[in-house]
Amino acid sequence: MKKTQKKKKTAPATPDAYEFLNRELSWLEFNQRVLLEACNPKVPLLERLKFLSITASNLDEFCMVRVGGLKMLVAANIRRTDPSGMTPRQQLVAFTRRMRKMVADQYELLEVLSKELAKHGFVIQESVEDLSDEQRKWLEREFMDNIFPLLSPVGVGEERPFRPAGLLSHCVATLAPTTPDEASRMVFIPLGPKLPRFIRIPDADGRAVFIPIEQVVAWQVAAVVEGQSVVECVPFRVTRNADIELREDLSSDLLAGMQELLDDRRETECIRLEIHCRATRALVGAMKQQLGLEQADVYLVDGPVELRSLMSVTQTDGFEDLRDEPWEPVPSPDVDIKESMFPQIAQGDILLVHPYDSFDPVVKLLNDAADDPQVLAIKQVLYRTASQSAIVEALIRAAQVGKHVTVLIELKARFDEARNISQARRLELAGAHVVYGVRSLKTHAKICLVVRREPQGIVRYVHFGTGNYNEKTATLYSDVGLFTCRNDFGADASDVFNAITGYSQPQSLRRLEVAPFSIRSTILALIANEAERARNNEKAEITMKMNSLSDKGIIAALYSASKAGVKIRLNIRGICCLKPGVPGMSENITVVSIVDYYLEHARIFRFRNGGLDDLYISSADMMTRNLDKRIELMIPVLAPGPRKKLLATLDVYFTDCVKARTLCADGEYRPVAARGKEKPIRAQEELYRRAKAAASLKEQTKPTMLEPHHRKRNPQTDVKL
């Protein structure tokens, strides 16, 4: 199927400020929806605790990146407004107010969850004093044997400034008196990454009892600062700014430049102090002065500092009644994992919807490519990888046996830079040709190309995805992947890799759209086509699923299409700056968001096109950074089977009335109401049910094969005749 619109159209006028929701406040509302899942009494208790830890982790990243960046703008006296009409200072004030409310809600919820979990024998202790005598004796031995040797108290003062290690530094602060004529002396005790965040205490009743490491250190602080009288001892955590970018024009060696960037992050300014609410004003004041913070940067918390680490205790063995029943990925009926991937892809395009369909075929393709003697070359883009990646191991193995392996590893993937540097070095040592991204652009595309010699000539097998080549997150994120060996897709994939590695612009692609060159113009043309059909009284529809929508030009085009009468359905997990349902502007647009068991991550776009349905998957969200500052791919889905599966998947997301919330024009999200007497549909559960049903049907219809057992030969004991 050829693309409907290729000529460029003039973008509609940019929306005015009143038509635009603030991007960062929209993100905070996404985190609020995650927090609502933690508050949901229908969700099992340990799953609720997990959601709570996710909200804390999300808020940490938001603070390090978005708040850190805004503070830099405020310090530089930048007064330029964002699309919603807010200056950096106004945004910072609004974010701080919203974040304080969210933090208060988090700790209030933790208290509720702790009480409920304790009823089931899962106990998070607030104080060592609540332990039994026997438990305290055990804990004292544990402290002296395994904790005390790792502690290094740091005296802090005017001449000895505190330099937090890492972007998030968890410590215990002590205040010790000196003489009546001198100020009290501060001593910080860093709690390094090698220390457990929570210690599990043996319990005679078989309960799982945990206590935060900072409470143990505070209990034994006299041993740590021996000879000093401690009048105050409280836990705290410092957050530092992570919103610094590599100046590529000043770094000819990107690998060395990224290493310098990681070093620079250890020296960035402090932007947040979280400290237990029992801290005195004197201690808080001294710490503010020491860290260069204002009162607005201080968060007093009533509970364990660093809630993100609660994730570790949710992994405790047992307590299955406090968790969701796991949804194990199922084998796709379109793939026989025991057979080579190449003939299966040659039979027709294969579309997988992860994590309902297992990610194993993707790993299988790389393993087959590494081991198949007919494979000549492998080309791959890696944005985020697993710490122990089977895909990276397959690429290394392929390079070691002499295959031509080219890997683009994006060193600028935020917070994954160190891991990507390590993987890049391993691949280089194995003989792979490694490209460290593209100057001035992040390479966010998800693509793997395998070049194979076959009797009819060279065949190119390609995998495109909406998610990363990461086996771990592939079981946690909802994504889509497409296998194909179509000649035009393979030729386009080769051109994309040649452009990336050869520092040129891809020319005259046949099927693929590539940012920053053509995705924006193609999306605008497709939207304009639907608007024109609506003006001609034809049925016109746009359905899009993505993570974020913030680009002003795309939003303006959607507003224009809505005014023309196009019915627009948007499923947006996170940021949405568009205001739906506004009379005269967006009354034909609905926006829903789903927060559930899996993290929604797929990007799927459908334009009705008179019933022909232009259907795409993409690595790109509709954000300016994705469309103009990254290398992204948008891939048409053409084969009948994959199209049917993808359309059915997309439609399910708009039937959810269990986990879905709809965005209102005021920026609030409200639950989607159930439809009549129909059974409520939970989209992720329905997709998993369908995947299981398809796999079961395939198993039932598979012909029975008689496979005899043979004794395995043992060369050490068998006699050769």
pLDDT per position as a tens digit, 265-304: 445 688 899 999 999 998 899 889 888 899 999 999 999 9
Q: Evaluate whether residue 548 is within a structural domain.
A: yes
Give the pLDDT confidence score for residue 1 in this predicted structure: 40
Asked if residue 473 and residue 546 are part of one domain, the reply reads no
Give the pLDDT confidence score for residue 656 in this predicted structure: 96
Give the pLDDT confidence score for residue 272 in this predicted structure: 92
- Active centre residues (catalytic): 444
300-to-123, 166, 198, 295 alpha-carbon distances in Å? 23, 21, 21, 11
- Give the residue from 275, 293, 322 where a domain finishes: 322
- Give the residue from 459, 490, 511 where a domain finishes: 511
367-to-260, 346, 389, 409, 419 alpha-carbon distances in Å? 34, 17, 12, 19, 22
Asked if residue 525 and residue 398 are part of one domain, the reply reads no
Residues of the chain with pLDDT under 50: 1-11, 181, 246-255, 257-266, 715-721
Asked if residue 492 and residue 382 are part of one domain, the reply reads yes
Asked if residue 209 and residue 127 are part of one domain, the reply reads yes
User: pLDDT for 668-695, tens place per residue?
Assistant: 999 998 776 678 999 999 999 999 999 9
The residue segments making up the domain with residue 201 are 18-322
Whether the pTM exceeds 0.85: the reply is yes
Give the pLDDT confidence score for residue 675 in this predicted structure: 74
Q: Evaluate whether residue 333 is within a structural domain.
A: no
Q: Evaluate whether residue 2 is within a structural domain.
A: no
Q: What is the mean pLDDT of the chain?
A: 88
CATH number of the domain residue 349 falls in: 3.30.870.10
Asked if residue 533 and residue 507 are part of one domain, the reply reads no
Q: Evaluate whether residue 329 is within a structural domain.
A: no
Asked if residue 263 and residue 353 are part of one domain, the reply reads no
Residues listed for the chain: 721
User: Any long-range contacts for 364-369 (C-beta under 8 Å, 24+ apart)?
Assistant: 364/335, 364/337, 365/341, 365/448, 365/450, 365/461, 365/463, 365/483, 366/390, 366/391, 366/394, 366/395, 366/448, 367/394, 368/340, 368/341, 368/342, 369/394, 369/398, 369/403, 369/450, 369/452, 369/461
Number of domains into which the chain is organized: 3
The string of DSSP codes covering 672-721 is PPP-TTSPP--HHHHHHHHHHHHHHHHHHHSPP------PPP-TTTSPP-
For residue 144, the 8-state DSSP code is I
Q: Evaluate whether residue 446 is within a structural domain.
A: yes
Asked if residue 132 and residue 28 are part of one domain, the reply reads yes
Asked if residue 553 and residue 426 are part of one domain, the reply reads no
Give the pLDDT confidence score for residue 413 in this predicted structure: 53
CATH number of the domain residue 106 falls in: 3.30.1840.10
Give the pLDDT confidence score for residue 13 in this predicted structure: 54
Q: Evaluate whether residue 499 is within a structural domain.
A: yes
Q: Evaluate whether residue 713 is within a structural domain.
A: no
